[in-house]
Every structure is written in C-alpha cells, then in structure tokens.
C-alpha cells in the first residue's frame, strides 16, 4: 500500500515540478516586466509545493531518496506528471490557457484534498491552496482579458484553449491508483472535481466571450502512467543536466 | 497614442506601520491589474498588508524650482514647534 501512495505523491510532485520548469523558461522573456515577475512567482510557488510532495514521497518509500534524487535522477518514463504541463509555452495565449486549465483543476482538487485521511497530505494541500487560489485568480483574469480583448487576442486565446483541450481529460480520468487512493479516503472523487471544474471553466469562458471546446472530444492520456511525449525528454535534459554531469555537486 | 500601459505609483503599508509608503511604480492596464501587479512585484518579501495604487498622471507634485519659496520660510520659526508645553503624565503617548 505504501508503494501505491508513493506513486500517487509522485504524480502531484511531478506535475507541479514540470509546470514550474516550463514557466521558468519564460523568465526574462515575459510580455511585460510585471507579467514576468508574476510567472516567476507562480513557478517558485509550484516548486515549493513539489518539494513538499517529494519530501513526503521519499520518506514513505523508505529507500533514502531525497527530493533532489527524485527530481533529478529519474528518467522520463518514470515521471508521472500530466501531459498538459509538459506542453510548450508557445505564444502567451498558449501559456495562459495551459495555466488556466491546470490552476482550475489544481484549486478545486486541493480543496477536496484538504479532507484527506492522510494528515500530511491534508496539511500540504491546505498550505498549497493559499498559493493556488492566487494562481487561479491570475490565470482566470488573463483568460477573460485576452478573450474579451482585441480581435487578435481573442483569436489566439480561443485557438490555445482548443489546442490544449485534449490534455484536460487526463486530470479527471481515475485509473486503478486513483480509485485505490479514493477508497482509502486519501484522494477525492475525481468525478466530483470534474463537475465543479466544468462549471467553473464554462462560466469563465462565457465571461471571456470564448467558446468551450466540445465535451465529447477524445482525450490524451498516459502522462500519469509514465507514457510521455518527446517534449518531456527535452525538459528533463535541461533540468537534470547539472546534477547528472556533476554528481554530488552542492551549492 | 502610446501603446504603453499607463503608469501607476504604488504605496504599501507594512504590518508595523500606520501610513502607506511609496515603494515604486509599474505599468498596468487598469486599477485591478495594478493592484495584482503590485502584489507580485512589491510584496515578495512580505513587505506589506495593504496596497494603494494611483495613476501617475493623477499625482501633482511641487516643483523643485520652487523649493526656496515654499519651504525656506518655515525653517527658522521655532515658536511654531509644540515643544515648550510641559506634558502631564496622564496624557500618555500624545
């Protein structure tokens, strides 16, 4: 049972870590100075959360793996992040759409995770929620501004939401591990989260004068199970280069 | 017509302060965004609990050239300072 929870924690840690890494690619390249700082702040928040998840996972595994070893010494097929977070930054609408889809899931998910029967998980979720509420405020605000903006921003925002739609399903697809965690009271019922998410996203898109992509589209999956696109390979190559080239390096 | 977002001056009140202090400026499209940006840019190190944003255009400042005329006369009028009254203890931290 411990192994199951260990892998479950890795899913949370990996998603926050990889998304953080993607956002960090934009450091110094944001569309405005204030946006640049905001993105960096979000990235830092996410990496802080990843550290909590990795720390607990390492302790549970009991093999002495530290957060650094878990983050930097696993290969792509051992990562369990959502496919959504490894998608490229693209133009700014792509970045905003990805962030919005993830933040809305993250916020609603953490609100449920606070009630986990696992005290440690509940505590981490509680702390993370404060940060994620702000992340969602930001990304929702940007979706509305860009959607209900100029013809150009509207067009790009709609295209971004359409392109990333097929990666959203994975966040709510409960596989054997999700169900096992749910049975133990550790994790929430993803169908409940999905209902709230659909409601929230639909409302936001109406406000943004955008169209919700079709609910009946086929959804990509595999990220949670370690089946990734080639994009993750490049992200890890950049992220893991230093510890792998200089094993045991310290600041 | 500039494509640049309007400039806003930012004032933050810290936990231990009574007044908002000017901390800098930033660009934003409107007041709500200015408050959010101020939160992201100027409160990273827990600097404050309250943010005020004012459009830079709405601030009128005294001209440096008028410094003498405006401020010199008050320089040597010591009788205007309230320091000659003996304060009774009952008044406390007035």
What is the ipTM metric for this complex?
Answer: 0.81
pLDDT at B2: 65
Residue A157 placed within a domain: yes
Q: Report pLDDT for B85.
A: 76
Report the pLDDT value the prediction gives residue B53, as an integer from 0 to 100: 97
Range of the domain at A44: 2-245
**Which chain B residues are Cβ-neighbours of A37 within 8 angstroms?**
40-41, 44
Q: Examine residue A250 and state whether it is found in any structural domain, yes or no.
A: no
How close is the nearest chain B Cα to the Cα of A138, in Å?
8
CA dihedral sign of residues B40, B46, B50, B54: negative
Taking CA atoms, what residue in A is nearest to B32? A141
User: A132: closest CA among A27, A9, A15?
Assistant: A15
**B94 within some domain:** no
Once rounded to an integer, what is the mean pLDDT over residues B10-35? Answer: 93
pLDDT of residue A1: 47
Can you give the pLDDT at residue A2?
A: 58
Q: Looking at CA atoms only, how far is residue B4 from chain A in angstroms?
A: 10
Q: Which residues pair with B10 in a beta bridge?
A: B24, B53
Instruction: State both tokens at A92.
Output: 């700014």
pLDDT of amino acid B72: 80
Q: How far is A105 from chain B (nearest CA, A)?
A: 22
B32 chain-A contacts, CB cut-off 8 A: 141
For the four alpha carbons of A132, A134, A138 and A140, in that order, the dihedral sign comes to positive
Residues of A with CB under 8 A from a CB of B: 32-34, 37-38, 41, 137-138, 141, 145
B7 in contact with A, Cβ within 8 Å:
no
Structural domain including B14 reads: 7-85
The answer to whether A171 touches A82, Cβ cutoff 8 Å, is yes
Mean pLDDT of B46-60: 93
Residue A83 vs residues A108, A121, A151, B55: alpha-carbon distances, Å? 19, 23, 30, 42
What pLDDT is recorded for position B78?
77
Is residue A251 in some structural domain?
no
Domain contains A112: yes
CATH number for the domain including B55?
A: 3.10.20.520
Residue B8's DSSP bridge partners are B26, B55
More confident residue, A251 or B27: B27
**A90-139 residue pLDDT tens:** 999 999 999 999 999 999 999 999 999 999 999 999 999 999 999 999 99
> Rounded to 10 degrees, what is the CA torsion of A88, A92, A95, A100?
-160
Domain count, chain A: 1
Percent of the residues in chain B that have a pLDDT greater than 90, as a whole number: 48
- CA distance, residue A36 to nearest chain B CA (Å): 10
Selected for mutation to probe chain B from A23, A31, A32, A42 (highest B CB count within 10 Å) is: A32
Total domain count for chain B? 1
Per-residue pLDDT tens digits of chain A, which is 251 residues long = 457 999 999 999 999 999 999 999 999 999 999 999 999 999 999 999 999 999 999 999 999 999 999 999 999 999 999 999 999 999 999 999 999 999 999 999 999 999 999 999 999 999 999 999 999 999 999 999 999 999 999 999 999 999 999 999 999 999 999 999 999 999 999 999 999 999 999 999 999 999 999 877 899 999 999 999 999 999 999 999 999 999 988 87
Entry pTM = 0.91
Q: Of A215, A207, A85, which is closest to residue A146 (Cα–Cα)?
A: A207
**B84 pLDDT more than 80:** no
Q: Give the domain CATH number at A104.
A: 1.20.1260.10
Question: In this structure, is residue B92 part of a structural domain?
Answer: no
Tokens representing B33 are 């965004």
Residue A34 has its nearest CB partner, among B32, B41, B44, at B41
Three-class HEC string of A148-212: CCCHHHHHHHHHHHHHHHHHCHHHHCCCHHHHHHHHCCCCCCHHHHHHHHHHHHHHHHHHCCCCC
User: Do A32 and B33 count as a contact with CB atoms less than 8 A apart?
Assistant: no
Q: Please report whether residue A177 resides in a domain.
A: yes
Quick one: tokens of A109? 């998910």
């Amino acid at each position: 049972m411990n192994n199951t929870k260990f892998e479950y924690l890795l899913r949370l840690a990996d998603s926050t870590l990889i998304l953080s890494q993607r956002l960090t690619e934009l450091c110094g390249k944001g569309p405005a100075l204030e946006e640049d700082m905001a993105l960096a702040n979000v990235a830092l928040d996410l990496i802080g959360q990843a550290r909590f998840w990795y720390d607990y996972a390492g302790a549970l595994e009991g093999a002495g793996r530290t957060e650094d070893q878990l983050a930097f010494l696993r290969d792509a097929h051992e990562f369990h992040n959502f496919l959504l977070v490894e998608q490229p930054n693209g133009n700014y609408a792509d970045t905003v759409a990805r962030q919005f889809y993830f933040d809305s899931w993250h916020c609603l998910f953490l609100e449920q995770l606070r009630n986990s029967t696992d005290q440690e998980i509940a505590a981490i979720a509680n702390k993370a929620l404060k940060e994620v509420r702000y992340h969602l405020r930001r990304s929702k605000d940007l979706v509305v501004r860009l959607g209900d903006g100029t013809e150009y921003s509207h067009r790009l925002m709609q295209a971004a939401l359409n392109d990333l739609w097929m990666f959203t399903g994975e966040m709510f697809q409960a596989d054997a591990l999700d169900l096992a965690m749910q049975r133990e009271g550790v994790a929430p019922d993803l169908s409940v989260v999905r209902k709230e998410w659909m409601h929230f996203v639909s409302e936001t898109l109406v406000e943004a004068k955008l169209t919700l992509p079709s609910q009946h589209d086929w959804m990509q999956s595999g990220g949670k199970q370690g089946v990734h696109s080639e994009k993750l390979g490049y992200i890890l190559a950049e992220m893991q280069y230093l510890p792998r080239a200089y094993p045991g390096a310290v600041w | 017509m500039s494509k640049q977002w309007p400039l806003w001056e930012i004032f933050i009140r810290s936990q231990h302060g009574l007044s908002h202090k000017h901390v800098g400026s930033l660009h934003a499209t409107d007041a709500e965004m200015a408050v959010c940006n101020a939160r992201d840019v100027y409160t990273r190190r827990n600097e404050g609990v309250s943010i005020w944003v004012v459009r830079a255009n709405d601030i009128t400042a005294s001209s440096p050239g008028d410094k003498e005329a405006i401020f010199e006369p008050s320089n040597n009028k010591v009788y205007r300072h309230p320091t000659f009254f003996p304060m009774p203890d009952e008044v406390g931290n007035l």
